[in-house]
Amino acid sequence: MKCFNRCVIVLIVVQIVAWGAWSRSEARNLTTVLGEGFDLIPRNPLLITNLVFPTAADGRADFFAFSTAGQGLAPALSAAVAQAVTQQSPLASVAPAFSYRYIPSLSVFERSTSVPGPLFSERALTLGKGQLNFGIGYSYVGLDDVNGGSLQNKRSPLLLEAFCPSTAGLPLFLDPLCGRFLDDGSLLRIAALGLSSVRTRMHIQTHLAVPTFRYGLTENWDVGISIPIVNTFLRVRHDLIPVAITADAFLVSNVDRQGNVNLALLNSSLQPVDLTQARFFAANRGRRTLTKVAGSATGVGDISLRTKYRLWGGEQGGAAAGLELRLPSGDEDNFHGTGETHVSPFIYLSQVMWDRIEPHVNLGVDFNTKNMDRSAFLYSVGVAALVWKRLGAGIDIIGRSDFGRLQPGKGSGLAGFSLSRPASSCSQANPCTLGDSPPFRFPFKFKRNDVIDISFGLRYVLGVSGSIFFGAIMPLNDDGFRADFIPSGGMGYTFDGREDRSQSSTV
C-alpha cells in the first residue's frame, strides 16, 4: 500500500508540473502566429496591396487581397494541425510490457506470459489485480507532408502582381516614384503588372512526452490515465516568385480623401484594355520574402482516461473490451488539443502462440461528441514476438478512417491564371496570353483522412518488472498532415500495489 501511495503522489506531482508548463505558454498563441503568417495586406489602408486577382465571372478587374484566401483557410488549418498533433499522443502512450497473475500458495505474482506486449497497440490481457504500472513515452513528430505534397513547397496559382515600372525591385507601396498627389488631394498611382506565384513553407514540429499510469482493479479489469506534455514549434514563410511580366497593360489607381479606391486597366495609350488581351513574357525579377513568422508553445495536451475489461480467455490471451475518454484539456489555440471530447470504445483480441509470438487486433470507434461527422473508425493489427530471452520485437499496422472532413472557411479558394505556354518560352518577340486556371484551395485541399501507418520497435526487459523500448512510425499512405518518420522511445515499470505487499515478492 505504501508503494501505491507513493505512486499516487508521483501522479499528482506530474499533473502539477504539467499544468505549470501549460500556464507558462506564450500569450501570443500559435493560432495568432498562423494568422499573422497569412496576413499579406499592407498596414496602411491608403496603399493598395501588391497581390491582386480578378474574381468576377466576366473577367472584370475586381481586385482583392491574397490574404483573404489565406485567412479564410486559417481556422480549418489550425484545427487540422491540432488534430494531427493530438492523434500522435497515443503513439507515445506505451502499453505495459507484461501482465501478471497471483500465485496464492507462494504469495507472489508472476508473469502470465514471457512475450513482451506490443508497443503501440493493446493486448487482451489485463495488468493483474493490485499491479501498478508507470510508463513514459516520447515521440518527435515533424509534420512534413499534407495529402502527399511537401509542406516546404506549396505553390499558389499565378496571381497578378502590381509593381512600380521604374524600379521593379521594390514593392509598389514602398516606391515614391510610382504615384503623386493630385490637386484635389487624391493619390494617383500607376503600376506595371506581372504574374507571380506565392511559395509557402511551413515547419510544424512537436515533441510529445506522455506519462501513463495503469492500475489493476481486479484480475480482469484495469484503468489508466495518460497526460501528454506537448511542445510545438511553428514557422510560416511566404516567398513571391515572379513568373511573367507585361508591357502593354498598367494598373491605374486613384485613392480619394475618404480612402475610396478606383482601379482601371489601361494600355500605353491610356485606353481601357481587357486583361485577356495583355501579352506576357518571362520575368527576370528576383524573388522576395513576403512574410516570415515563428512561435512555439509548451503545455498539457488532451488527457486520456482508459479502462479495459477482459471478457473471456485464458492466461495466454482472449478478448477484452475497452473504453477511452479523451478530455479537451489541451490548448486548442496552441495545437495541443482539439477542444473536443472524444469517447472511444474498443475490442481487443490477442493470443500467445508457442510461448514466443503474440498476434493481436484492436478495433474501435472514436466518437467526436462535438461534431459526429469528425468521428473515425480506428484499427490496428500486428504481432509481438520474443526474439531473445530479454528482447522483444513488434510490428503493427495502425489505421484511422474519418467519417467526414474538415470544412475550410469561406473565401479560402483562390482563382488564378495560367499562361498559354510555359513561362520559359514566353519572350517579347513571341509573348504568351492568359488563360484561366480552376480555383483550388490554398495552400492545399482538405480531404477525408484515411490514415494508415506502420509501427515497429524493440523492447528490452530490465529485471523482472521494467523495460525500455525504441521504435518508429512511418506512413503507408498520403492523407492528411503526416510525418515521414516518427522516432519514439520510453520506459515502463510495474509495482506490486497490493495491501499485503510485505508478505509477497515483487515481480
Query: Which among 237, 99, 251 has a CA at the least distance from the CA of 164?
Result: 251
In a domain, 446, yes or no: yes
CB neighbour list of residue 179: distance below 8 Å, 6 or more residues apart? 187, 188, 189, 190
Q: What is the pLDDT of residues 79-124, one digit of tens each?
A: 778 888 777 666 656 667 666 655 555 555 566 677 788 888 888 8
| The pLDDT of residue 194 is above 60 | yes
Looking up cell 514602398 gives 174
| The pLDDT of residue 252 is above 90 | no
In a domain, 286, yes or no: yes
Question: Total domain count for the chain?
Answer: 1
In a domain, 206, yes or no: yes
Residues 252/272, Cβ–Cβ less than 8 Å: no
In a domain, 6, yes or no: no
- Residue 41, burial from CB neighbour count under 10 angstroms (0-12, 13-18, 19+): middle
In a domain, 329, yes or no: yes
In a domain, 275, yes or no: yes
Q: How far is CA 280 from CA 66, 193, 206, 332, in A?
A: 21, 9, 44, 46
| The pLDDT of residue 40 is above 70 | no
Q: How far is CA 267 from CA 247, 252, 428, in A?
A: 9, 10, 16
Strand partners, 441: 413
C-alpha cell at 328: 479537451
Residues 152/121, Cβ–Cβ less than 8 Å: no
Q: Read off the CATH number of the domain in which 287 is found.
A: 2.40.160.40
Looking up cell 525504441 gives 470
- Residue 312, burial from CB neighbour count under 10 angstroms (0-12, 13-18, 19+): exposed
Rounded Cα–Cα distance for residues 131 and 109 (Å): 9
Strand partners, 474: 454
In a domain, 12, yes or no: no
| The pLDDT of residue 236 is above 70 | yes
Single pTM value for the model:
0.77
Range of the domain at 30: 17-503
Residues 336/330, Cβ–Cβ less than 8 Å: yes
Q: What is the mean pLDDT of residues 62-86?
A: 64
Model pLDDT, residue 475 = 92
Rounded Cα–Cα distance for residues 92 and 48 (Å): 49
> Helix 30-37 to helix 67-86 angle, to the nearest 10 degrees?
150
Q: What is the mean pLDDT of residues 423-447?
A: 73
More confident residue, 265 or 40: 265
More confident residue, 421 or 189: 421
In a domain, 8, yes or no: no
Residues 141/205, Cβ–Cβ less than 8 Å: yes
Q: What is the pLDDT of residues 286-342, one digit of tens each?
A: 787 878 889 999 999 999 999 999 998 887 889 999 999 999 999 988 989 888 999
